[in-house]
Amino acid sequence: IGAIRNHPLHVIELLELPRLVFPISGMTLGWPDGEHRPRPRLPLEAVLHWERYDASDEESLLKSYDRVMAET
């Protein structure tokens, strides 16, 4: 699912999407093949904006998230 956000051009090529079509979401179907814990998610402050887009704290939020991901 992260590939859509992280590698949209590859997804466009793989799915042979027509010109002006851009993937924005994906959905997984099926059952896990084992016991897996959910991965940490970006904090809500990094993805939710009220009234206007505000990226003033984006860099610190992403660095914090990167540290959490490195520990998992």
Q: How many domains does the chain have?
A: 2
Give me the mean pLDDT over the 49-70 stretch: 92
* pLDDT value of residue 5: 87
pTM of the prediction?
0.54
- 36 within some domain: no
- 34 within some domain: no
Give me the mean pLDDT over the 36-58 stretch: 89
Give me the mean pLDDT over the 2-6 stretch: 86
| CA pair distance 19, 53, nearest whole angstrom | 28
Distances (CA, A) of 22 to 15, 27, 37, 42: 11, 15, 30, 23
- 37 within some domain: no
Residue 66 has pLDDT above 90, yes or no: yes
* pLDDT value of residue 59: 93
Range of the domain at 58: 42-72
* pLDDT value of residue 34: 85
